[in-house]
Chain A
Amino acid sequence: MSAAPRISRQGLLFALIGLAGLALPLVQLRPNRIVPGEPLSLPASLGWPGWALAVPLAAALLALLPARLPPWAGLALGLTGALLSVLALGWAATALIAPDAPLARVSPAAGFWLLLLAFALAAADALARLAPPVAWRWGLLLGTVLAGAAILSSGVLGDISVMREYQSRHDVFWREAGRHLLLAFGSLGLALATGLPLGVLVHQVPRLRGAVLGALNAVQTVPSLAMFGIMIPLFGWIAATVPGAAAAGVAGIGAFPALVALFLYSLLPVVSNMAVGLASVPPPVAEAAAGLGMTRAQRLWRVELPLALPVVLAAVRIVLVQNIGLTVIAGLIGGGGFGAFVFQGLNQTAMDLVLLGALPTIALALVAGVALGLLTAQAGGAPLERTAPA
């Protein structure tokens, strides 16, 4: 018990997950996009080159075990392993799809997802222990995004079912992607434009605090589906009765109610974090700013807002990640975005189509979350999370 363990506990977990992934089927081969298919492991789908891939993958997983593994090596193993897993998936699909069966689909199965999870966790864990400077983290984020884009555009994954769905509707895909970003960022922009001044007001006029935050809290408790549901009759009625409203874009269904609902959800984090950020300015600092002869506006702009910035950026992060996810629901009321694919796919029981909506949403949320976390760190906010050495 007292001796230092020579096998890291995280490493063991990652290796077990990854080895389970190798043992489970990597892909599913189906005659068409709807019927259930036949699960195939990596060697079964690729033959001897499959073994040539499986062995180094297993070796990489076992290499994660030693407790004394340097973090940079863990990071390299994680990134390389994730890349290899994705490539293996693409190659397996290409090998399995016969030219005479154009409707056949190869989709990633549990084995692939577990492999990817194991290597991604290993990379994330190593990164947390490495705690590199923020500039390095930006570089890593950018590199990962570029690598992902390069793989997707190289065509290696072209025979995967999700990419098949993409190929058959790539025009629609980019339109919905644009719509998704517009809804998520547009609602954030609106929330910042109104929420930040409101937060300042709540801080400076404490009497308003209870009422404003209470109302926003109430909004926050409305379930998203119910919220979208309320928007339909409400804005439908306004569009029908208020002259000019319909011409201005107000409508019961579509992007408008989606934008309004997302905006309302965004307000609470923005307003409350603005107020909390201002309240967290140390009293002697606020007192000194006043005592040295700053006007109220100078105090706000030169001292209080800069010091509240990390807390505000934390709110922006929460709201952006939340809105990127919630925008999927907007697909239900014709708001567009990646949700359109998700709900279309659900209706057609076509999981590939669901994934075409879900995967980019997850990727967007991850990138936005990491990027804003880095911005917060640069603004002198909460130190980047560190894990205790294993």
Chain B
Amino acid sequence: MIEIEHLTRRYGPRAVVNDVSLTVQRSEIVALVGTSGSGKTTLLRMINRLVEPSSGRVRIAGTDTATLPPHQLRRRIGYAIQGHGLFPHRSVAQNIATVPRLLGWDRARIDARVDELLDLFQLPPEEFRDRRPQELSGGQQQRVGVARALAARPELLLMDEPFGALDPVIRAQAQQDLRRIQRELGTTLLLVTHDMTEAMFLAHRIAVMDDGRLLQCAPARDILTRPASPLVQALAGEQARPFHLLSLSQVADLAQPGTAEGPPLAPETSLRDALAQCLWSGRDALPVAGGGVVTLAALRQAASGETGRTGAGASVKAGVPSPPASPPAPQ
């Protein structure tokens, strides 16, 4: 659990982060969103003390981070950034082994951990272990960057625009991989992004920041349907709101008895994709695999935010995969 209490960072008279308090539960994913200059990156960097807070406090699992030497604190926290920052003079294995080596793990344990992570990220160890980062594709580099951040089994992972440099198709794949791996490992994840679609897809809760202040921190559905202020509503993307809402649920949640023509949808298909199918095929109802149909009328109601069937929070987020064939549209 991370407790951020009244955290402030001033540069001269200007407060880049202004009195932000936020608690992140164990194994939770929280996305920090906001415009450029809203202070979200500074907030993230104060957690591992790459930026020292002007005032306020951060506690990780009850320990005040100010009581630890910064480098020791950082070895306990995973950190992955845009442009991955892999060391170009080190092999993939050496890059991943960075923190375990700093922590003084023995050779055999490091090698085993490196191979385990390469497998986890679907990079066959024999093939990738000894390559240089420059020899990898952008998506592979990004995966190695995240693997490096996770190497020493940190309880907390900080990510700053980790997918910012990837093209949309690879980005969608990377987001799914991240969610799969986060669920497997149970790592607490704090993620900075400016992409609302990405935040909706990944996060249990979304923290909206503007001008150094935390405006609202709530599950995606609440951000969309009950924004705390017009500014949150604007930042959440007013035009795309119905589509965002649809992407939060899957057809299994909306299926009703009946029959319809055409190939059935998988139950975990997102409502957003179901709507796209309706519009494209010109039909009013689509069959769902395993029985039932999803109707255009029901989709319309769901898009207006009036459906009461799905509860907000982690349980909803946990079951919304987006098939690789239809990645979330970049904003």
Contacts and interface: CB of A to CB of B under 8 A. Distances in A.
Interface of A: 282, 284-295, 298, 303, 306-307, 380
Contacts of B82: 284
Nearest to B79: A291
Contacts of A295: 71
Interface stretch (B27-35, B85-93, B277-285, B320-328): B85-93
B119 to A, nearest CB: 21
27 contacts: A282-B88, A284-B82, A284-B83, A284-B84, A284-B85, A285-B85, A285-B88, A288-B81, A288-B84, A288-B86, A288-B148, A290-B74, A291-B50, A291-B81, A292-B74, A292-B98, A292-B99, A292-B102, A293-B76, A293-B99, A293-B102, A294-B71, A294-B98, A295-B71, A298-B102, A307-B88, A380-B89
A294 B88 contact: no
Contacts, number: 62
Determine the main DSSP class of A at the interface with B: helix
Contacts of B74: 290-293
Given A288-B81, A291-B48, A298-B102, A303 B87 contact: yes
Contacts of A294: 71, 98, 102
Given A284-B85, A285-B85, A291-B85, 10 more contacts: A285-B86, A287-B50, A288-B87, A289-B85, A291-B50, A292-B79, A292-B98, A293-B99, A294-B71, A295-B71
Contacts of A282: 83, 85, 88
Interface string B58-86: 00000000000001111110010111111
Given A307-B88, A307-B89, A292 B148 contact: yes
B4 to A, nearest CB: 18
Determine the main DSSP class of B at the interface with A: mixed
B231 to A, nearest CB: 30
Interface of B: 48, 50, 71-76, 79, 81-89, 98-99, 102, 145, 148-149, 158
Nearest to A295: B71
A289 B99 CA distance: 10
A125 B74 CA distance: 52
Contact of A293 (B75, B83, B145, B158): B75
Contacts of A289: 85, 87
B224 to A, nearest CB: 32
Contacts of B73: 293
Contacts of A291: 48, 50, 74, 79, 81, 85, 158
A286 B87 CA distance: 9
Nearest to A303: B87
Contacts of B81: 284, 287-288, 291
Nearest to B48: A291
A310 to B, nearest CB: 10
Contacts of A380: 89
Nearest to A380: B89
B50 A290 contact: yes
Contacts of A284: 81-85
B150 to A, nearest CB: 11
* CB-based closest 10 A-B pairs: A288-B85, A293-B75, A284-B85, A293-B74, A291-B79, A284-B83, A293-B71, A295-B71, A306-B89, A285-B85
A179 to B, nearest CB: 38
A362 to B, nearest CB: 35
Contacts of A293: 71-76, 99, 102
A269 B75 CA distance: 37
A287 B145 CA distance: 13
Contacts of A292: 74-75, 79, 98-99, 102, 148-149
A306 B75 CA distance: 22
Contacts of B48: 291
A287 B48 CA distance: 12
Contacts of A303: 87
A179 B93 CA distance: 48
Contacts of B79: 288, 291-292
A292 B95 CA distance: 11
